[in-house]
Structures are given as structure tokens and as C-alpha cells.
Structure 1
Amino acid sequence: MNIVISGTSGEPIYAQIVRQIRQMILLGDLSSGTPLPSIRLLAKDLQISVITTKRAYEELEREGLVNSIVGKGSFVSGADQEYIREQRLRMIENKMKEIIEESRGLGIEFAEITEMMKLLYEEENG
């Protein structure tokens, strides 16, 4: 598992871990039942506090994306597929908001954005 921590992002370290693991799960890079590194191992690999790693795992567990079993570790849960779909839709919406903001900054009209999206979509679907 490749997690990159930035000390300059302004985002708390535990939140960076949560965001990256959440994204791996929602994109299907980590499937149901996949074991996560132990809290101690991940803390050692990232050179951070065990408390920070524990907080990240607890947050993922609260979201229903991870199950922790005492003595066995933490695993990607068999989260409801509808929940995962909703989370992925939310990710798409956030990316679309970024596109809209950037387009407005460049003075691009909505019709032009939709035409660009249509062309890209058709290009990808051959």
C-alpha cells in the first residue's frame, strides 16, 4: 500500500491517511477482506506516531470501510456496494466542481464545457 504524507499540505496526517485509503477502497484498489498493514507497521513505514495511525483506522471504521478485529488486525469491510457507489459519485461531483470553478476563471461557458466533456467521453468509449 502506497501512502504519501505531505508535511506542507495543511491537511492533518491522519486525514491524509484516511483520504488515501478511502480512495483506494472506493476505486477498487483494495477489495473486501484485504488486510491493512498493522497500526504499528504503518506508523513505522510512514515515520509517524502510532496514535495518528490508530486515529486514521478508527475514522475508516466509523465510515464502515474498515473492520478491526482484536488480535487479527484491520481489514477492508464488505461495505454496502450502494454506499460505495454513492461515495464514488460524490468524488465525481467534487471533481466536476473543480472543473466548473477553473472554467469560470478562464471565462469558459457551460456549453463549451459540456461539448468538451461529450468529446472526451466519446473518445474514451471509441
Structure 2
Amino acid sequence: MKLIINHSSQQPIYEQIAEQIKAKVINGTAREGEMLPSVRSLSKELKISALTVKKAYDALEHEGFVNTVHGKGSFIAGTSPQLLMEEHRKEVESDLEMAILKGRRCGMTDQEIRQMFDLIMEE
């Protein structure tokens, strides 16, 4: 599995790993039942601590994207359409929050931001 770690990013490495695997599940490049690289092999490949990879896998399991079978490994879980839709909503919400913050930093009022949003939605 091809993952890219940005060591100069403010985002923790385990989050970068988890986000990239989630993206692969959402866009369909990682399929249900597909085995993830072992914690040890991925940590060697990325030249990071095995604990960091384990933390990413644990986070993915907690969110329902991965199932771990003791002694066998971690596998892409069957994801429901509702789970995928919720992830898409989170991404859109995050993008909208960033746009609002940027507008406010530029001195725009909330009303101006709403008007701009409404104008864009009409197109």
C-alpha cells in the first residue's frame, strides 16, 4: 500500500496514515477484506515507529474502517454507505469551516459570507 508521510506537516504521522487509508477505502482503491501491511513492515517501509502505525490502525478500527484479527493482521472492513456518507460530510464541513475562517480573516462579515455562499449555490 502506497502511503506518503509529510514529516514537515503539522498533522501527526498516525493521522496522516489513517487519513490516507480512509481515502483509499472511500474512493474504492482499498476493498473490503484486503489485508493491510503488517505494523512492522509498514513502519520499516515508512521509517517510523511501529507504535505510530499501531496507533493509526487502532484509530481506523475505532472508526470502523479496519478489522484486526489477533495473529492474522488488519483488514479493510466492510463499510456501510452511511459511514462513507458521514465521512464525506465531515470533509465538506471541514472545507466550509476553513472557507468561513478565511473570509473572516479577510474582514468579511458573516452576512457577506452567506451572500457569497448563496450566490455560489445558485450556479
> Post-superposition shift, 1:88?
1.5
Superimposed CA distance per residue, residues 58-111 of structure 1 (whole angstroms, 9 cap, x where no aligned partner): 121121110112343211101232122112211111111112222333338222
Question: For structure 2, which runs of at least 5 residues remain unmatched after alignment?
Answer: none
SS across alignment from 1:75? strand
Residue 29 and residue 101 in structure 1: after superposition, are their counterparts in 2 closer, same or farther (change >3 A)? Answer: farther
TM-score (norm 2): 0.80
Residue in 1 aligned with 2:116? 112
SS across alignment from 1:6? coil
Residue 117 and residue 29 in structure 1: after superposition, are their counterparts in 2 closer, same or farther (change >3 A)? Answer: farther
Residue in 2 aligned with 1:6? 6
Name the CA distance, whole Å, in 2 between partners of 1:84 and 1:49: 29
Residue 38 and residue 118 in structure 1: after superposition, are their counterparts in 2 closer, same or farther (change >3 A)? Answer: farther
Residue in 2 aligned with 1:80? 80
Q: State the percentage of identical aligned residues.
A: 36
Query: What one-letter code is carried by the residue in structure 2 that aligns with 1:11?
Result: Q
1:25 is the counterpart of 2:29: no
Task: Could you list the structure 1 runs, at least 4 aligned residues long, displaced by more than 4 angstroms after superposition.
Answer: none
> Post-superposition shift, 1:117?
4.2
Residue 32 and residue 49 in structure 1: after superposition, are their counterparts in 2 closer, same or farther (change >3 A)? Answer: same
TM-score (norm 1): 0.78
More displaced, 99-108 or 70-79? 99-108
Name the CA distance, whole Å, in 2 between partners of 1:29 and 1:100: 32
User: Is the 1:27–1:88 Cα contact (8 Å) retained in structure 2?
Assistant: no
Alignment of 1:87-126 (within 5 A): 87-106=87-106, 107=108, 109=112, 110-119=114-123
Name the CA distance, whole Å, in 2 between partners of 1:100 and 1:7: 28
Name the CA distance, whole Å, in 2 between partners of 1:66 and 1:118: 39
Superimposed CA distance per residue, residues 18-76 of structure 1 (whole angstroms, 9 cap, x where no aligned partner): 22222322333323222212212211111111121112111211211101123432111
